[in-house]
A and B are shown apart, each in its own frame.
Chain A
């Protein structure tokens, strides 16, 4: 049974077709990359799939742990909010959008736990330190403010904050954007390890083919609001069928 299933998603911003009859299937534990150039509707698709934006037409179904399917956009606001702070996670390109910059690293990681009802300070702190270590942040930085962290550390802190509640599904919007190459490589390695170990399903938006190849099991290529090609990552990247995918793959610089 699919974890997330979308059919016939359409959304227009005036004359622009941001989404045009898009269908998506995501299976439990699977990483799906959505690639395409700027303005192809990748981020819009992510926002619609996660219920942050309503489509003009089409439906997104989410299957909860009991096997019950929910129409994400017909869900009452409290239920969607609960989903977002427990079963789901969202990793932004800019960690500052998600983190509380005037709250310590430990408080940032602990917030989702407390929102879910954790009321034991010792447990919350232990869990926060455990997660900081998992994302390779030194445990003695737990009381430091995020503004003293480097860009790569901020992104790792955001990942710790998102994964602390063991979500089943994580939405990632360009998680490695704006980081230099060596930091990117370490972060990718970290995400790949965590996602594989925890069996998290993820929808990953990226314009970087290399990121998709490293992290994703399946790939969907978007152009002007349409999914033009979809398939296993290696299959799509090694033997692209659609003209646009061929162009995308061939335009990657070989180092």
Chain B
């Protein structure tokens, strides 16, 4: 079934090297562990880090789900899912509940993950301080000494300038009360899901050659001020297709007269709700098809 390739594309030595990095990352929650990132048959920025982590943890009896911005049917998600179906011969699914490994770009599924699942994030920039401090030597020292005043200066500047913390995605978190960590460019809406998540969370940055992890049930706190607490930002309307009010919504422009539609970014969640009979205000036409 996987003719012409080693199981899951990468050779066994590489997978062992990545697993060693993963073990270290799990042992030090939120700490960035360097690893020897390999060339993959897709460009940097398309998920080379996530794909290497997934390749290293995948077994014969795993079921893989891949999402891109919450959707199972976008180019990136489809091609990565097909890649592993071809090179590892594993079962694939679009249903969150059926998957054992979920590789994701920019979202966490709406459905609460279980302790027998692993979520793998694709990370473009693992260093949360990179916009504030250009020297990697200095940011490593800051992580080493837990010297994170600078990150709060950024939050202070936001409140002073805009009256609120204006970070809407890649919202910095403090893991296990120790390491400052970039949650990858997921919306701030998803940040609370990371806190004490039953599933193991792994992060792979291919171009930057870093792996980090959050073990199950670990405290993950979004940075904020006492008088300007963290708040998740979402569209003010329910999903147009399934009527959900508790899921993260994408805005879709429907015509050039200002028409727009808010739909669940998590396509599996939306489809499941519609199958169960929930219909939003724009959902009738589709339900009739």
Contacts and interface: CB of A to CB of B under 8 A. Distances in A.
A107 interface: yes
Nearest to A112: B149
Contacts of B152: 111, 114-115, 119
Interface string A24-58: 00000000000000000000000000000000000
A61 to B, nearest CB: 23
B226 A78 contact: no
Interface stretch (A11-19, A120-128, A243-251): A120-128
A63 interface: no
Interface residues of B, number: 18
B164 to A, nearest CB: 10
B147 A115 contact: yes
B152 to A, nearest CB: 4
A115 B151 CA distance: 9
B227 A81 contact: no
Contacts of B153: 100, 103, 107, 110-111, 114
B157 A120 contact: no
Contacts, number: 58
Contact of A121 (B148, B161, B225): B225
Contacts of A121: 156, 159, 225-228
Interface in B149-189: 149-150, 152-153, 156-157, 159-161
Nearest to A79: B145
Interface of A: 77-78, 81, 85, 100, 103-104, 106-107, 110-112, 114-116, 119-122, 124-125, 142-143
In the A-B complex, the 8 residue pairs with the closest CB atoms: A115-B149, A114-B152, A121-B225, A114-B149, A120-B226, A78-B145, A107-B153, A107-B156
21 contacts: A77-B144, A81-B147, A100-B153, A104-B161, A107-B153, A107-B157, A111-B152, A111-B153, A114-B152, A115-B147, A115-B149, A115-B152, A116-B149, A119-B152, A119-B224, A119-B225, A119-B226, A120-B227, A122-B227, A124-B156, A143-B161
